[in-house]
Structure 1
Amino acid sequence: MEHAPPPAEELALLDRELAELDARRAQLLTRRAWLLAALRPPTAAASPGWNPSAWGAPPAGRPGAPAQPWGYVPPKPSAPRGAQNVLLTLGGLLLAVAAIAFTLVSWGSMGIGGRSAVLAAATLGALAAPAVLLRRKLGATAEALGALALVLTLLDAYAVHAVADPDVGGLAFTAVASAVLAAVWAVYGLALRPLRLPLPAAVVLAQWPLLLWAWAAGAPVLVIGWALLATAVLDGVIVLRGTGLGVRVTAGVGGAVTGFFALLVGLGESVTASGPLGASAPGVLLLAAAGAALAGAWRASEGFARLGGVVAGLTVVAAVGGVPASAAPEGWRVLPYLLCGIALASAVRSRLPRNATHGVLVASGVVAAGSLLWALPPVAAVLLGPVTRLSEVWAGAPGGFRAAVGSTLPWPELAAAPPVLALVAGALGAAHRWWPAVARTAAPLFAPRTAAPDAPDAVGTAGAPGASAAPGAGPYGAWGWGVPGGARPAPVRRLSGASVRGAAGAVTLVLAWGALLLAGAVLDAPYPVAVAGETVLVAGLLVPAVTGFAGDGSGRGASAAVPVTALVAAVCGAVSLGLLSLASEAVSYAVFGALTVLFAGAAVRVRAQVPRAVFAVTAGVGGIVLTGFAGRSLGLAPHEGAPLLLLVPAVSVLLGARLRQHPVALPVELTGAAGALVAVGLAVADAPFLALVLALSGVLAAGAAVRPERRPVAGYLAAALFVLATWVRLAASDVSFPEAYALPVSVPALVVGFLRRRRDPEASSWTAYGPGLGATLLPSLAVAWTDPEWHRPLLLGVAALVITLLGARYRLQALLVLGGAVLALDGLHELAPYVVQVAGALPRWVPPALAGLLLLVVGATYEQRLRDARRLKGTLGRMR
């Protein structure tokens, strides 16, 4: 069957193929330009074009030199100019210092005529000398004298102000002087174009006249902002129309600085305005700045056009949103800015340049993200706030939601947080719901550009929404043709439309949940209403989680973003709701009962394995908490209520037997094991109850061991729990001779193990003899370590020695390991007093020395020890 893609996807495929063709053509044009540049002669004497006779011939004057491909003969290296530049720089610097010293120190010792003549002669000479030097092709010297002339003109301005017109204010005179000097140096730089310094110096001087004039006139802050903006616009014009990299870079840096401060002035005045009328004037300044940024984006290159779009978008939001925000209450000022930011998304239908539109959309996203950063902290406070009240479990229902979460946030100032979350969620939800229409609308914006024949570097690589990069696609074509060295470029991975749509839906779900959750805290809903509302929210989150995974049960792909997010949010919401309900006993039972039922029902309905396991585990945890509540309600101490917690592990064992090989069976049983571990922890304070809990847990483990797939783990666990329960029970009864209780159990167990080994020689020695030996040896060893007499350690050591020898003789792993371990520990117990006595008699440096010597020996024979350990492991592994 042939698959016909929808029109939007087919359009994206066509755009991607065209982009690959354009990229291939651009790469070939770039290669052609490089070849033409390589074939150009280095001097006028060389003949143009490709010289076939020079193929493989060494350059003249270099016998034996390697052949140069394509007939290219490299030019001879010119003499280094480092020493010349250093000399010129030092000379110009010394002359500048001398001029400054003359102006500041010796100025008063001459008459007005002499002063004027010296300064004018020096300045005119410094200005005229570069022209003569340039005609003689002494460019470096001309640059040095040009720098000296710049310093002299600045000194001229200072001298004029200090002597000729000292009554004029410094700021006003500096503004006029900087304007005059900027004009002079601009004309001078245009007249002597080979000089690199005059035009950038004129640009630097042009940054000050308007700002200093406004400052000197005592103008308001907004006027200073307009002066900065006008200077930035002038810099932008120079960047777009100026010639020379130095001029454009200098103007670009100046425009960025002055424009930033102009925007800062406008934003500060807009935010601090007392009303809409006061915010209108800075709004006009900001709108003018936005217009200037967009005007620059029409002619700027790709990156700067996008930056201009971002600046214009953010500035429009600040200008338009600042007017209603100035009249809004304290907690609602963020809302007008967000509405303006969302409205910026309509720029996708405008006639702005594509790169500028990209920047405007980025600005819209930045505004939305900033609003979310403001609104999300109170959501976190609502979710995590109940943790602070864990010490007040069942202390009584609080009066309202805010008291229940225990947060001290200024809630009246956060009144706009729920609407902010709801607005962003609504915008993303609309994009998720009507995604095909959104993709068709934005497809021309994100379509690849077509490179002009003479602009091979202007190839667009962005694909349309929904398009993914083909394997191997890149700027050099689909197969990497023409890549230097024959290497294949790495493929460019792009997000597919389904991924973007799924992300939008997932974020919509989280924001809508946060908005509803935060609304209860902002409104300070009564405690029962808040708990009921959060329960409904958890149930609502379970709906997309169950329906999203109930289709094919796979839960894979971009379409799983919404159900996965709903699953995570439902679990987080259930944890927060459970903590919130601990303030009241009745509410705790109701909430955890409802959560257990909801998650158990979700586990039954969903088909995917991982979500079903998560739902089942969450339901099991809820059941464990309910059984713990039952003990507290009955007035039982924690150790007395510990056996009640084993109800959930018992149910998990029954469910495991029912599910058998189902993938969910293991998580359910592990949840029950966690409940049993909690019960053991609660019963540690009382030895009889601990023994009871251990014995009951052993019964449950034995029940799980009936199933063959659980027998290897559950069987050993059951034996260990029974033995441990016996030890604890004996210790709780102050039994000093545990052998009297252990031997009657050990002997029949060993007989049963011996009979089983006769019937099944392949049976493991641990299964046959491990429980019987452990039931006697281990309790006796524990008592022997605290027994001051010598009889029990001696008898225990002899028994352990006999068992070890029997294990070695009949190659039984359980006897050898258990007997050897008990024998070693018993011997260590007997030697411990003497070791302590000897260690106390030795000098303190001897133990570290012996330890170091041991480490050296082990390190030197490491390989041999490793082989011995492997041999011992293999020998033990071959035993039964």
Structure 2
Amino acid sequence: MNTVPPPAEELVIINRELALLDARRSHLLARRAWLLSVLNAPAAPARPGAAPAKDAPPRSAQNVLLTLGGVLLAVAAVAFTLVSWGHLGIGGRSAVLFTVTAGALAAPVVLLRRRLASTAESVASLGLLLTVLDAYAVHRVAAPDTGALGYAAGASAVLAALWAVYGAVARGLRVPRPVAVVAAQLPLPLWALASDTGALTVGWALLVTASLDVLGALRARPGAGLRVVACVTACVSGGWAVLVAGWLSVAPGGAGPAALLLAAAAPALYGAWRVGTGSQAWAVTWAAVAGLLAVAGGGGLLREVLPGSWTAPVYLLVAVAVAAVAVRGGVPRAVGRGLAGASAGAQALALAWALPLVAAAVTGVRPGLPWAVAVVPVTVAGVLACLPSLEARCGTLALAWAAGMALPEALALPHAATLGAQLVLTAGFLALAVRPSAAAARLSGDREAEGPLGGVALGGALLGAVVVAAGAWRTETAAVVVLGSLTGLLAGAAVLGAGPRRTVSACAAVVAGTGLVGAVAAAVELPAHLTGVALLAVPVVTAAVGSGLRRHPVAVPVELAGTAAGALAVGLASARPAVLALVLGLGGVVAAATAVRSERRPAAGYAATALFVAAAWVRLAASGVSAPEAYALPVAVPALAVGVLRARRDPEASSWTAYGPGLAAALLPSLFAAWGDTGWPRPLLLGLVALAVTLAGARLRLQAPLLLGGAVLALVALHELAPYVAQAVGALPRWLPPALAGLLLLAVGATYEQRLRDARRLRDTLGRMG
């Protein structure tokens, strides 16, 4: 049973509970304020009670202070040496520099033992600088008459050795040995400059220095600063050596520079070979550099003993030798890739030099071809034939074509023999294009290569056909024989081939046949307009072939090629209007024969109509006929006949679609002529025809005849009445026309609604017509 305490005791209890609640609330509010400060702070704050962060880490601050101190001491030492030197005697000078230098070099050893590495590096750097000042002081005091370059060469060698030994003794220092490597770049080049024996000696000195750098870089620990510095200095010294050799090799008598380039390939290749198991990218890069240097140096040496025209082939042969080294056994893969890339680049440059000369010789732009030029595509084709890729096989085929086409020019064969050889080569490539499986089996052993090789082979055949045909036009007889042979070869390829190659061969046969007809016409000395008539044989033959092939995919391309020959015929016949009319008419017959075939070619029908109309117009113009009806009626009558057939076959067709074109062609030219005609027969006849057309349109309830005929009839009537109206208007007072116009407007306004109903009724009536 619960008992209730007395009021005084209960009040004490409540006050105690309220005090506890207030304390808890204060704690929660303080925690809430801290959490809000954490969330809203721009950076992560430290825990409560933690010490504030310093502006800079102790190590960074120490390095800055040490570096600044070393720089200030170095500036002071230089100023003492160069400015205040004269205030001391020779003994005092030597004692001060020796003492300070010895102290600066000895202090880092003690500092390293006390684990003050940063301080030791700063003091050691100051000591190294002091050794340079010591060398300068010795030259000024002890050997002032010694040559500056020679003394600098010896001093840099001594300093490099001293710094290297110092770095080996003070093993904890990182500065001395890399600085020694940098100093070691100077002795040999400075000695070469001091000896004044020429730039080639300087190049050899730089190369020897770079070779020593390569050895040092390979002996240093991977990832060490010494290796990085040695690699950089090797690149700099070796690069200058190559630049010197390249500059000197441009001049005649460059055997010495060529030997320097060839020797420069050795350290690059050695470095690539040694790092091949580590960094593949560096190995490929250095091997490529070595390959290029070998090509440049070896080609330069051989160039000195051969004629100037053999310069590019000599470099190419050296590049092939480099490629042979790249694929031989025992060469690391990365090294082989680099050498192969260098060889490929050199071969590409040789081709870039040779192929324009080959093209100029083959096309007859520059007759004759040196053997040195012909060797280049043959050599590169042989190299590509040894590679297993499909791209290399296609390149082999293309270069073989170039070499084969250029070979007769290199052999200086007679013109007939050159054409025969090139024609045989074209026939061979056509055979490969028709049956590419044999080429694929011989060149790659892969049936999947059949397609690409057959594209390449067909391209070579077509290009060869163009070259042979162009060369055959020197004489009419050669042109007839060559173009006849090409027509037969291409037609045979079209019959035996398959797929796109069949279509291309068929179209090429049509082109060759067109050239054959032109060659025959030139041989029998036909004039140009009669040659146009003869060329119509080509579209006739292609139309017959298309009719026989029916829906075969080759039919349409062949007929289009024949159409191009017909266009050429029109162009040749354009000089004689009568002959042009004949050509256009015969072309219309061919097109009409094509249009009535079972597969129905509407385009051929339109072409036939256009050709017939053009033929009639040209014939009329040639006969001196100027009446527009003679030109309009040959168009209007067929158009109206077609419209009648269209209306019978499609009752839903509009009269504008069926009869509009024909009526417009028949009436409008005569209307324009009638407005400029002062006689009466043409307006009278045109008016009668327009009246007949209007009545026919009203009788048959057709919009097009009704509106066109009515409009023409009204305009003809206006033309005939215009003089009388003008005469009457001229006789009337000037106030009468405005008065009549006002009365007309009043009448129209008074009967506006009735006129509107009449217009709507007329619109509905016309809308119900066909």
TM-score relative to the length of structure 2: 0.71
**Alpha-carbon contact 1:421-1:512 (below 8 Å) kept:** yes
Paired residue type of 2:306: A
In the alignment, what sits opposite 1:259? Answer: 238
Q: For residues 626-685 of structure 1, give each alpha carbon's deviation from its aligned partner in whole angstroms, at most 9, with x where no partner exists.
A: 233344445454344323222212211111111111111121111112222223333445
Query: 501, 506, 509: which is aligned to 1:616?
Result: 506
Q: 1:798 to 1:154 in 2, by over 3 A?
A: farther
In the alignment, what sits opposite 2:543? Answer: 653
**Alpha-carbon contact 1:378-1:518 (below 8 Å) kept:** no
Higher fraction of helix: 2
In the alignment, what sits opposite 1:534? Answer: 422
In the alignment, what sits opposite 1:330? Answer: 308
User: How far apart in 1 are the matches of 2:182 and 2:148?
Assistant: 19
Say whether residues 1:522 and 2:522 are aligned partners.
Answer: no
Q: 1:675 to 1:291 in 2, by over 3 A?
A: closer
User: How far apart in 1 are the matches of 2:506 and 2:315?
Assistant: 44
Q: For residues 304-335 of structure 1, give each alpha carbon's deviation from its aligned partner in whole angstroms, at most 9, with x where no partner exists.
A: 22234334444555566665553333333554
**SS, match of residue 583 in structure 1:** coil
Say whether residues 1:238 and 2:216 are aligned partners.
Answer: yes
**Alpha-carbon contact 1:297-1:309 (below 8 Å) kept:** no
Note the C-alpha offset of 1:613.
0.9
Say whether residues 1:375 and 2:375 are aligned partners.
Answer: no
Query: 352, 374, 397: which is aligned to 2:331?
Result: 352
Paired residue type of 1:421: P
In the alignment, what sits opposite 2:400? Answer: 512
Q: 1:100 to 1:526 in 2, by over 3 A?
A: farther
Say whether residues 1:694 and 2:584 are aligned partners.
Answer: yes
Q: For residues 182-215 of structure 1, give each alpha carbon's deviation from its aligned partner in whole angstroms, at most 9, with x where no partner exists.
A: 2333345556667665443322222121222233
Identify unmatched segments of 5+ residues in structure 2: 1-37, 45-52, 441-445, 713-768
- The share of aligned pairs that are identical, in percent, is 51
User: How far apart in 2 are the matches of 1:795 and 1:121?
Assistant: 132
In the alignment, what sits opposite 1:629? Answer: 519
Computing the radius of gyration from Cα coordinates, the structure with the larger value is 2
Q: For residues 460-519 of structure 1, give each alpha carbon's deviation from its aligned partner in whole angstroms, at most 9, with x where no partner exists.
A: xxxxxxxxxxxxxxxxxxxxxxxxxxxxxxxxxxxxxxxx54323222222222222223
Q: 1:318 to 1:776 in 2, by over 3 A?
A: same
Q: 1:746 to 1:113 in 2, by over 3 A?
A: same
User: How far apart in 2 are the matches of 1:652 and 1:318?
Assistant: 58
User: How far apart in 2 are the matches of 1:99 and 1:818?
Assistant: 112
**Alpha-carbon contact 1:592-1:622 (below 8 Å) kept:** yes
In the alignment, what sits opposite 1:44? Answer: none
Q: How many residues align?
A: 668
The 10-residue stretch of structure 1 (200-209 or 264-273) with the greater mean CA deviation from structure 2: 264-273
Paired residue type of 2:597: R
In the alignment, what sits opposite 1:213? Answer: 191
User: How far apart in 2 are the matches of 1:288 and 1:534?
Assistant: 46
**Alpha-carbon contact 2:419-2:472 (below 8 Å) kept:** yes
Note the C-alpha offset of 1:562.
1.9
User: How far apart in 1 are the matches of 2:700 and 2:195?
Assistant: 108
User: How far apart in 1 are the matches of 2:628 and 2:663?
Assistant: 13
**Alpha-carbon contact 1:266-1:285 (below 8 Å) kept:** no
Q: For residues 349-404 of structure 1, give each alpha carbon's deviation from its aligned partner in whole angstroms, at most 9, with x where no partner exists.
A: 42233322333333443443343333322122234xxxxxxxxxxxxxxxxxxxxx
**Alpha-carbon contact 2:547-2:597 (below 8 Å) kept:** yes
In the alignment, what sits opposite 2:379? Answer: 423
**Alpha-carbon contact 2:156-2:187 (below 8 Å) kept:** yes
**Alpha-carbon contact 1:321-1:340 (below 8 Å) kept:** yes
In the alignment, what sits opposite 1:304? Answer: 282
In the alignment, what sits opposite 1:666? Answer: 556
Q: For residues 561-595 of structure 1, give each alpha carbon's deviation from its aligned partner in whole angstroms, at most 9, with x where no partner exists.
A: 22211111111111122222222222222222211
In the alignment, what sits opposite 2:615? Answer: 725
Q: Which has the higher contact order (CA 8 A, sep 6+)?
A: 1
User: How far apart in 2 are the matches of 1:430 and 1:82?
Assistant: 61
In the alignment, what sits opposite 1:579? Answer: 470
Note the C-alpha offset of 1:718.
2.3
**Alpha-carbon contact 2:150-2:191 (below 8 Å) kept:** yes
Query: 156, 159, 164: which is aligned to 1:181?
Result: 159
The 10-residue stretch of structure 1 (158-167 or 246-255) with the greater mean CA deviation from structure 2: 158-167
Query: 186, 201, 213: which is aligned to 2:179?
Result: 201
**SS, match of residue 416 in structure 1:** helix
**SS, match of residue 202 in structure 1:** helix
- Please list, as runs of the form range in 1=range in 2, the aligned pairs for 1:44-55 lying within 5 A after superposition: none
Identify unmatched segments of 5+ residues in structure 1: 1-59, 67-74, 384-404, 432-499, 823-878
**Alpha-carbon contact 1:770-1:814 (below 8 Å) kept:** yes
**Alpha-carbon contact 2:639-2:661 (below 8 Å) kept:** yes
Paired residue type of 2:491: A
Q: For residues 754-796 of structure 1, give each alpha carbon's deviation from its aligned partner in whole angstroms, at most 9, with x where no partner exists.
A: 2541244367979854763465368669979999999999999
In the alignment, what sits opposite 2:662? Answer: 772
In the alignment, what sits opposite 2:16? Answer: none
**SS, match of residue 613 in structure 1:** helix
Note the C-alpha offset of 1:548.
0.9
Paired residue type of 1:666: V
Note the C-alpha offset of 1:607.
1.9
User: How far apart in 1 are the matches of 2:599 and 2:678?
Assistant: 46
**Alpha-carbon contact 1:289-1:315 (below 8 Å) kept:** no
Paired residue type of 1:563: G
User: How far apart in 1 are the matches of 2:607 and 2:199?
Assistant: 79
**Alpha-carbon contact 2:248-2:254 (below 8 Å) kept:** no
Q: For residues 408-427 of structure 1, give each alpha carbon's deviation from its aligned partner in whole angstroms, at most 9, with x where no partner exists.
A: 59955xx2222332233234
User: How far apart in 1 are the matches of 2:704 and 2:487?
Assistant: 44
Q: 1:150 to 1:716 in 2, by over 3 A?
A: farther
User: How far apart in 2 are the matches of 1:108 and 1:261?
Assistant: 40
Paired residue type of 2:479: S
Paired residue type of 2:332: P
Q: 1:248 to 1:652 in 2, by over 3 A?
A: same
Say whether residues 1:569 and 2:460 are aligned partners.
Answer: yes
User: How far apart in 1 are the matches of 2:439 and 2:364?
Assistant: 41
**Alpha-carbon contact 1:638-1:682 (below 8 Å) kept:** yes
Q: For residues 790-831 of structure 1, give each alpha carbon's deviation from its aligned partner in whole angstroms, at most 9, with x where no partner exists.
A: 999999999999999x99x99999999999xx9xxxxxxxxx
Q: For residues 411-470 of structure 1, give each alpha carbon's deviation from its aligned partner in whole angstroms, at most 9, with x where no partner exists.
A: 55xx22223322332343355xxxxxxxxxxxxxxxxxxxxxxxxxxxxxxxxxxxxxxx
Paired residue type of 1:428: L
**SS, match of residue 597 in structure 2:** coil
In the alignment, what sits opposite 2:344? Answer: 365
Paired residue type of 2:190: L
User: How far apart in 2 are the matches of 1:101 and 1:813?
Assistant: 112
**Alpha-carbon contact 2:266-2:290 (below 8 Å) kept:** no
Say whether residues 1:227 and 2:205 are aligned partners.
Answer: yes
Note the C-alpha offset of 1:545.
1.0
**SS, match of residue 351 in structure 1:** coil
Q: 1:121 to 1:515 in 2, by over 3 A?
A: same
User: How far apart in 1 are the matches of 2:635 and 2:259?
Assistant: 95
Say whether residues 1:711 and 2:689 are aligned partners.
Answer: no
Say whether residues 1:600 and 2:579 are aligned partners.
Answer: no
**Alpha-carbon contact 1:705-1:712 (below 8 Å) kept:** yes
Note the C-alpha offset of 1:604.
0.8
Query: 526, 551, 559: which is aligned to 2:450?
Result: 559
Say whether residues 1:164 and 2:120 are aligned partners.
Answer: no
Paired residue type of 1:420: V
Q: 1:620 to 1:164 in 2, by over 3 A?
A: same
Paired residue type of 2:288: V
In the alignment, what sits opposite 1:398? Answer: none
Paired residue type of 1:181: L
Q: 1:818 to 1:116 in 2, by over 3 A?
A: farther
**SS, match of residue 607 in structure 1:** coil
